[in-house]
Amino acid sequence: MEIAPRLLQSEPMRRCTLDECHAACCLYGVWVDVGRMQEIIHRAAEIAPHMPPQAKNPARWFTEQREADPYLPTGEAVHTRVVEAPAHYGGTACIFLRPDHKCALQVTAEALGEHPWHFKPFYCILHPLDLDETGRVTLDETRLLLEEPASCLRPSEGLHPLKEIFAPELAYLKENWPLP
């Protein structure tokens, strides 16, 4: 995994917390590697108890939408179902978002003694980081991220190294998601 030079900079930002954003990033669902989707479906009996009450049926967890994605192990992604969520930012949410603003996939992994991101889709772990045109991990334009009320980043008084802000994600991705 290679990081873009942008992540070597220091900027006046800090991370968000669930108490501040209520998982606003889950607004539109996420693209999931087909292999990860198959693992999630295979482990549905362990995941379903942690799902919101109206979302326990694994047949409804993913859409039929598929898309080629060269950054995923199988090269193909499927989209999580997006459901109406009037209390959530924007009025919709990924089907895996629970009323307590936690991801059912992460809660399940923790309950099973796994790393919290064991079941999480690549793009959930990556967010708010992104991939540049050459596949390097980077961060989108800061001003836009900090102006968005539901952003995963917040303004900060002092400068903080981006590589340190995102150290957990970078370490996990390096070990578990080797990028080309």
Sign, CA torsion 40/45/47/48: positive
Specify the 3-state DSSP secondary structure of 167: helix
148-161 residues labelled b (16+ CB within 10 A) or e (exposed): eeebbbeeeeeebe
| This model's pTM is above 0.75 | yes
The predicted structure's pLDDT at residue 151: 74
Instruction: Give the residue with greater pLDDT, 179 vs 103.
Output: 103
Residue 155 has pLDDT above 70, yes or no: yes
Q: For 8-60, what is each residue's pLDDT tens digit?
A: 999 888 887 777 777 878 888 999 999 999 999 999 999 999 999 899 999 99
The predicted structure's pLDDT at residue 180: 52
For the chain, the residue count is 180
CA distances to 9, 11, 64, 68 from 73, rounded to whole Å, are 29, 32, 19, 11
- Evaluate whether 40 touches 47 at the Cβ level (below 8 Å): yes
The predicted structure's pLDDT at residue 179: 57
Residue 75 has pLDDT above 80, yes or no: yes
Distance CA 100, CA 18 (A): 9
Distance CA 152, CA 155 (A): 10
Specify the 3-state DSSP secondary structure of 125: helix
Instruction: Give the residue with greater pLDDT, 49 vs 148.
Output: 49
Q: For 89-137, what is each residue's pLDDT tens digit?
A: 889 999 999 999 999 999 999 999 999 999 999 999 988 889 998 889 9
Residue 2 has pLDDT above 90, yes or no: no
The predicted structure's pLDDT at residue 178: 64
